[in-house]
Amino acid sequence: MHTRFLLHAAIVAAFASASAHAQSVAAETSVETLAPVTVQSSADASAGGLLPAYAGGQVARGGRKGLLGNLDTMDTPFNSMEYTSQLIKDQQAASVADILENDPGVRIARGFGNYQQLYMVRGFPLYSDDITYNGLYGLLPRQYLASEFIERLEVFKGANAFLNGAPPGGSGVGGAINVVPKRAPNTPLSEVSLGWESGNQGYGAVDLARRFGPDENTGIRLNAVRRDGGTAVDQEKRKLGAFGIGLDWRGERVRLSADLGWQEHKLTRSQPSVNISAGLPIPSAPDPANSFAPPDTFSNERDLFGTIRGEFDITDTVMAWAAIGGRSSDESSSLATPTVTNLAGDTSVSSSAFSRKDIIKTGEVGIRAKFNTGSIGHTINASANHFRFDSRQAYAFYDPTSSNLYNPVNRPHSSVITFSGGTLGDPLRSLSTRTTSFAIADTISFAQDSVLFTVGLRHQKIDNRSYSFNTGELQPPVNSTSRITPVAGLVVKASDEISLYANYIEGLTQVGAAPAFYGFPASPVVNAGEVFDPFQSKQKEIGIKFDGGKIGGSLALFATDQPAAFVDFTTGIYGSNGKQRNRGAELTVFGEPMRGLRLLGGVTLLDAKQVSTQGGLTDGKRAIGVPRTLFNAGVEWDVPSVEGLTLTGRAVHTSSQYADAANTQTLPAWTRFDIGARYITEIEGRMVTLRASVDNVADKNYWASAGGYPGANYLVLGAPRTLMLSAAVEF
């Protein structure tokens, strides 16, 4: 404890020293007058549009904070990062996970037995189907989202049940992610991009935008992308097709926006996750360029989604909004998960097949009012939300086959079914979720807005129902519960450059129904289909934020307690089997401290422990898949002697982590280096941007993560060295 306290104190001192130095440098070297900020696009039908980008253009000065709306970072009693479209394009990021490689508080993992992206935020999982799209849950593709849909990626750190409501997938205790859709900017946009990636994967994208009508009050933005071919992993294939259209209209007192998206994503023979037999040391990571997936593995997903949002200025100080959205998705897959059984790397490969069809409908209405009572200002926010989710699923598990992690056997899965549920070609309804919530908050401002205090409550009702995979009949009991989650946040602006903040906020996790199976080889869960009350987590946080104009950053100290639901492998029963407590410190730095030099990175220290475990057997042990230290350092340098040339570099470090609750299986620490360059020039009057990057430049073999799904300990292999080239032409 004393060591941790001293380390935290050292970080605070270092941050304060760096902040003071940056102020001094800015005062001595800055002679420019900043240009006035203009609204470039209205991403959510709001009057103010997007908040401006920070110096360097990689992150924004703030973003959406759920019910509270768009807030400047210095006015917010929470910690967050907002990554811009410029960063996404310059880094050739293809998905949400690629963007989050920049965040020192997030690490990428994977769903349970599949290829679903999963994001570990402050040591807690956030499933990809629990991210929001312009503030609404459930609208985006469940497994993977192409970056072409994203104008900005907003990453909120910490519990957030009050701000957004309970995530429908049962994750998000450590943070939330919101995707801001693209809108037509104030100037015409016509851009075509072509690219190539290791494995002979081709890439093509089109981005078109125009504004029309009186005062150009109507905008349309079209995005289309196609990726097809191999990857840096031998025999792995990837095919992606996506199309999105964004519309907006600005009236004198009314603003409307709408989005429609379609995405099809197909993977063939991708690297599977790997399980390790109990008591066996973690084997060395195999060559990630050699696929050990059986030849008949695949994952296909097709999604159609859309949303409409509107705002109406009732008076100059009162505004109402409404939004609706929906998604239809169709998934099918044939998956395999090897379990390493000895030090030679021999594996028992459990194979399975799944089909799934989801329908989501959701919406919200709200009102925001601003007024004063004497010298005290008030901003009242109130909203009502409804979410409806229906899923049809079927599965089959097959007799295991044998292989080897280092010398895989090229063999399809067995045709003998071990156990199954439903019909793969015609799945029946298996799960239904309804949530309804009402929330209200008041942000009170004192002392000429230098002190901001936010207090609020959200009442949420959650109705979960499960149905038999084989008959589609309702399986009692129906679980219907209500919870109230509060928030209290304080911001004290010590100066124009320094904000101090503190918050208390809770998370609400839908546990849902007990799964049908667990472990590899798969075994049936004894109480499959049983539904549970949601879990409430509790978070306390204090922090400091710095805005020096050229460089900014934040330091946060937090503690979160979260009940844990997972399968007790000794009994096969799923339930509330313990608690996890995560405490930590986050330091982030971003900006352009001097002309042509941009920085983005930071460090997160985590102390994630199991408490109140069954029989106290693992009390005090570290949680599965949560490293103690996460470090990111990104830099961009505009070469002075070559106009238009920029060199980039990034280092990502993750310390060791455990793959079992008893802390006997340890993943080694790993550090990865990425490099890149881009060159902007003009050819025949057209702006051309050439980009090249190499991820994992040293071609390091490493286990990137352990677990993700609560109580599970599967390993995910890091990607091999990957070269990406692209050219973008503006017409």
- pLDDT beyond 70 at 281: yes
Which pLDDT value is given to residue 49? 80
Digit-coded pLDDT (tens) for 597-654: 999 999 999 999 998 877 788 899 999 999 999 999 999 999 999 999 999 999 999 9
The pair of structure tokens assigned to 729 is 């032409």
Please provide the DSSP assignment of 140-203 as one string.
S-SS--BGGG-SEEEEEES--HHHH---TTS--SSEEEEEEPP---SS-EEEEEEEEETTTEEE
pLDDT band at 493 (very low <50, low <70, confident <90, very high): very high
Average the pLDDT over 454-477 and give the result.
Answer: 92
Q: List the single range of 32-46, 68-82, 498-512 with lowest mean pLDDT.
A: 32-46
Q: What's CA 231's distance to the chain center, in Å?
A: 23
User: Domain limits of the chain?
Assistant: 62-226+235-730
The H or E element spanning position 18 is: helix 2-29
Instruction: Tell me the C-alpha to C-alpha distance, in Å, between residue 591 and each of 58, 234, 550.
Output: 8, 38, 6
Q: Which residue has the tokens 């238009």?
A: 644
pLDDT band at 45 (very low <50, low <70, confident <90, very high): low
Which pLDDT value is given to residue 520? 57
Which pLDDT value is given to residue 34? 29
pLDDT band at 47 (very low <50, low <70, confident <90, very high): low
Nearest Cα residue to 293 out of 349, 340, 232 = 349
CB atoms within 10 A of CB 106: 24
Cβ neighbors of 374 (< 8 A, separation 6 or more) are none
Digit-coded pLDDT (tens) for 75-119: 999 999 999 999 999 999 999 999 999 999 999 999 988 899 999
How far is the C-alpha of 536 from the C-alpha of 483, rounded, in Å?
A: 9
Task: For 302-332, give one letter per residue: b (16+ CB within 10 A) or e.
Answer: bbebbbbbbbbeeeeeebebbbbbbbebebb
Average the pLDDT over 553-576 and give the result.
Answer: 84
Residue 2 DSSP symbol: H
Which pLDDT value is given to residue 351? 94
Which pLDDT value is given to residue 526? 86
Radius of gyration, alpha carbons of the chain = 25
| Burial tier of 710 (Cβ tally within 10 Å: 0-12, 13-18, 19+) | buried
Fold of 62-226+235-730: Maltoporin; Chain A (2.40.170)
The pair of structure tokens assigned to 571 is 């009994």
Which pLDDT value is given to residue 38? 37
- What percent of the chain lies above the pLDDT cut of 90? 80
How far is the C-alpha of 705 from the C-alpha of 285, rounded, in Å?
A: 12
Asked if residues 571 and 543 have their Cβ atoms less than 8 Å apart, the reply is no
How far is the C-alpha of 480 from the C-alpha of 466, rounded, in Å?
A: 12
Report yes or no on whether pTM surpasses 0.75: yes
The pair of structure tokens assigned to 325 is 């959205």
- Specify the 3-state DSSP secondary structure of 635: strand
Digit-coded pLDDT (tens) for 122-149: 999 999 999 999 999 999 999 999 999 9
